[in-house]
């Protein structure tokens, strides 16, 4: 018997066990994301509504479409945008940003006039995380005429377009500390605020599949911020991702992840930060011979 789930004014067909397994495997194979059984209704709704938009009658027909040739690759990118957009906001984890704040203050005191503080927001979504990092860097570095650069990466092209535009609903300001409001934003129209030009110029955004981090030419980062990303992957893949990120840190740089995302992770290049509020690591500095310096 055919069942349908009603969603608003539309209905989508039921995703049976076989089709759920096929789509689950395809998503993990191509993006690394592991979709648990509890997210079955989310997958069903996302697939079903997209099928209605393009006139597919069932999940098998749509599966064949997204796995067939160049046109399938285009449709797959559209679907991934639907499936991977995550909730985000400015300064989402105050404790983590307080840790970043302290680190940036220290860097500001140690940087030379020709140095640039490099920051990477992994899984940046619509840009709030990257711009939050930019606000912190701007606060301490710009008054000293020191430079910073923020790179945001995500698999979704839709959220990256939003990030590059730097425009947000006024309610987004509810999460921004008062000290940043005047300098970081400007009014851009009715019911819309915009990131200030001097911050947006310091931020760039690029599409990157986290499974292909090895091919992404970014290294010597002073801050790598990767929160609420690892939870969507299996533990062995989380470890692989963190191993790559560890290699991309500059000596003395910090890697910040979400609390509980990888509690038992260790790496020979990294020292864990001892804190109950923040899950972070510092890359060990090296001595003049290239060996890891002892503390």
pLDDT at residue number 216: 92
Q: Is residue 295 part of a domain?
A: no
Which residue, of 84, 111, 129, is where some domain finishes? Answer: 84
For residue 152, CA distances in Å to 129, 149, 183, 223, 241 come to 8, 10, 21, 12, 16
Which residue, of 58, 84, 110, is where some domain finishes? Answer: 84
Q: What is the pLDDT of residues 130-188, one digit of tens each?
A: 999 999 999 999 999 999 999 999 998 889 999 999 999 999 999 999 999 999 999 87
Q: Which of 52-61, 123-132, 238-247 shows the lowest mean pLDDT across its residues?
A: 52-61
Taking residues 215-222, report their average pLDDT: 94
- Are residues 66 and 147 located together in one domain of the fold? no
Average pLDDT, the chain: 90
- Token pair of 22 as six digits: 């096929």
- Token pair of 114 as six digits: 């020709």
Query: 223 pLDDT exceeds 80?
Result: yes
The count of structural domains within the chain is: 2
Residue carrying structure tokens 């500390």: 177
pLDDT at residue number 231: 87
Whichever domain contains 45, its CATH number is 1.10.155
- Domain coverage including residue 267: 94-283
pLDDT at residue number 81: 82
- Are residues 125 and 185 located together in one domain of the fold? yes
pLDDT at residue number 3: 44
pLDDT at residue number 7: 44
Q: Is 107 helix (H, G, I), strand (E, B) or coil?
A: helix
**Which band of pLDDT confidence, cut at 50, 70 and 90, is reported for residue 290?**
low
**Which band of pLDDT confidence, cut at 50, 70 and 90, is reported for residue 206?**
very high
Taking residues 202-215, report their average pLDDT: 94
Chain-centroid distance of CA 201 in Å reads 19
Q: Is residue 290 part of a domain?
A: no
pLDDT at residue number 84: 75
């Amino acid at each position: 018997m055919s069942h349908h789930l009603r969603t608003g004014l539309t209905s989508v067909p039921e995703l049976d066990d076989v089709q759920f397994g096929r789509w689950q495997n395809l998503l993990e194979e191509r993006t690394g994301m592991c979709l648990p059984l509890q997210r079955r209704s989310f997958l069903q709704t996302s697939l079903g509504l997209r099928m209605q938009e393009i006139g597919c009658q069932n999940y098998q027909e749509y599966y064949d479409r997204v796995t067939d040739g160049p046109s399938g690759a285009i449709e797959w990118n559209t679907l991934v945008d639907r499936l991977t957009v995550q909730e985000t906001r400015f300064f989402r984890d105050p404790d983590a940003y307080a840790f970043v704040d302290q680190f940036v203050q220290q860097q500001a005191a140690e940087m030379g006039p020709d140095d640039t503080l490099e920051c990477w927001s992994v899984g940046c979504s619509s840009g709030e995380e990257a711009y939050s990092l930019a606000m912190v860097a701007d606060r301490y570095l710009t008054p000293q005429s020191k430079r910073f650069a923020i790179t945001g990466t995500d698999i979704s092209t839709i959220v990256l377009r939003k990030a590059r535009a730097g425009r947000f609903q006024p309610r987004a300001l509810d999460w921004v500390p008062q000290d940043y409001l005047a300098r970081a934003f400007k009014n851009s129209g009715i019911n819309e605020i915009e990131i200030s030009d001097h911050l947006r110029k310091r931020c760039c955004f690029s599409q990157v599949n986290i499974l292909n981090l090895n091919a992404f030419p970014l290294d010597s980062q002073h801050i790598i911020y990767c929160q609420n990303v690892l939870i969507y992957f299996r533990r062995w893949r989380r470890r692989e991702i963190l191993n790559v990120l560890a290699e991309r840190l500059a000596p003395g740089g910090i890697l910040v992840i979400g609390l509980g995302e990888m509690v038992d992770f260790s790496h020979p290049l990294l020292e864990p930060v001892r804190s109950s509020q923040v899950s972070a690591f510092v890359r060990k500095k090296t001595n003049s011979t290239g060996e890891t310096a002892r503390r």
